[in-house]
Amino acid sequence: MKPDKLTIVRNKILDLLESGEVPACEKLPVTRDLAAATGISLLIVQSAVESLSNEGVLYKVPRHGVYVHPDWRDRVLQRNVFFFDPLYELPYREELIGRMRSEFPNLRVVTGFRRGIFELRTTGYLQSHHAEYADLTEIFRAVFPDDADFTGTPFEACRMNGRQIGLPLIFSPRVMFYNPKLLAAANVPEPVPGWSWEQFRTSLAAFRPLLPPEKRYYWKAEPFLWMNYIRRAGGTLIDPSAADPVRIDTEETRRGLSAIRTLLRENDIPFVPQLPNYWERFIGGELPFLMQPREFLPLLDRAGCRDWKTAPLPAFPGGIDTTVQATDIFCVRRECADMHTAAGLVRLLLGKSFQNYLAGIRYGIPIRISAMRRSLNPLEPADRLFLTEIPKMTTTYNLYDSTLYHLAVTGINRILAGENDIAGGTSELAAMTRTFLKLRPPAGRIPQQGPVRSELFFS
């Protein structure tokens, strides 16, 4: 199938914007030039310009022409599909775009817009912006009336107040990848199940005379990294089930923060938004440890990298053996006027064909149990570990408001960066959070997470 002529012209205009060829506030080429460039009638070109003007992407100046709106990136267009910006490229991106173009030729996968009417998002973002998304419960039931082939617990990451605000494509626990050759060269023993945080610190210390700070351990100022260690230390930020839901200033949370900050300082690891090319460094044999989900495997496979093994995340004495679930989630904004296409995308993304494709490239763990069984090989040590870790996953950050999310994340990052002492910083952040919750209680509830039994997948 091919897109209609109106879509072709709209896409041509949007290409000019997303490529930067026509920047914000600049004048768009005249309609006659667009008609000549596309070979499409002037009337249809004028209709495309009119529709994009009505949607706030363009604006008209009488007797001067049509200009690009300064805030065009923030517009939500009914045909736009947005993919979250991954830590590394999505290996299924081109395959999925090809399938969507075949079935839904009038949809556009955007690169310059910040949002779409249809989106792929991560857990933390979706939970903290849940009010912006439509309930997909009835669509999922209509498309898949028999849901026996889906594993249920990962869906809890996208469920709020009985509303299914997203549908997971894949999920994964996070584990520690390590390079056994680098460890052997530094006389560092390989980690084993039950290894401790102190053993992790000792292992990294052995690399201080051998590797520069940026090659000892990957760090990024993101919740998925520090939340795993805070949770494993027994702490958390918010616990809606507690009498006082704010847990930022508890002993357990402070213990986790102190452990992370000490680790960073001991190894002179800079607290920056992101160290560049970290996965390339691991694949190239320059980084000894790297916390990642199973989504990392396609990069290792494609690079032909064989110098890696996996271990559980290091344990804290008296802590919790848990791991924060990584998830790629399909969601639909409330403004969507075409739930028929939304249902078609659900059928595509969660259908057997695409789920089996994900299984074949070993990207994460497919949400379909049949595809999961095709992908995970319990005879392989890494997959055996992922199966062991699945029941330990937690699915939620408990930050069900975008303002609360940014308040908590900014505060924790400042504490870890050393801008505040841990006791004072957590007390201040906890007080602000309590005030926020008192003035604006967070919508939603803590998802009731049941156990995930790996024997269900390989019985």
Domains of the chain in start order, with CATH, are 5-73 (1.10.10.10), 80-171+326-393+450-456 (3.40.190.10), 174-323+401-439 (3.40.190.10)
Name the residue among 226, 160, 151, 229 with its Cα closest to residue 396: 160
pLDDT band at 89 (very low <50, low <70, confident <90, very high): confident
Looking at residue 242, the DSSP 8-state letter turns out to be S
pLDDT band at 454 (very low <50, low <70, confident <90, very high): very low
Give residue-wise pLDDT tens across range 262-283. 999 999 887 665 556 788 899 9
Give residue-wise pLDDT tens across range 160-169. 888 999 999 9
At position 205, the amino acid (one-letter code) is A
Give residue-wise pLDDT tens across range 18-45. 999 999 999 999 999 999 989 999 999 9
Give residue-wise pLDDT tens across range 317-353. 999 999 999 999 999 999 999 999 999 999 999 999 9
User: How much is the pLDDT for 312?
Assistant: 98
Give residue-wise pLDDT tens across range 151-184. 988 999 899 888 999 999 999 999 999 999 999 9
Name the residue among 210, 199, 228, 185 with its Cα closest to residue 412: 228
Judged against a pLDDT cut of 70, whether residue 456 lies above it is answered with no
Task: Report yes or no: 314 and 197 within 8 Å, Cβ to Cβ.
Answer: yes
Name the residue among 69, 91, 66, 93 with its Cα closest to residue 81: 93
Residue 312 CA to residue 194 CA, distance in Å, equals 8
Pairing outcome for strands 174-178 and 167-172: unpaired
Task: Report yes or no: 178 and 290 within 8 Å, Cβ to Cβ.
Answer: yes
| The length of the chain, given as a count of residues | 459
Task: Report yes or no: 167 and 158 within 8 Å, Cβ to Cβ.
Answer: yes
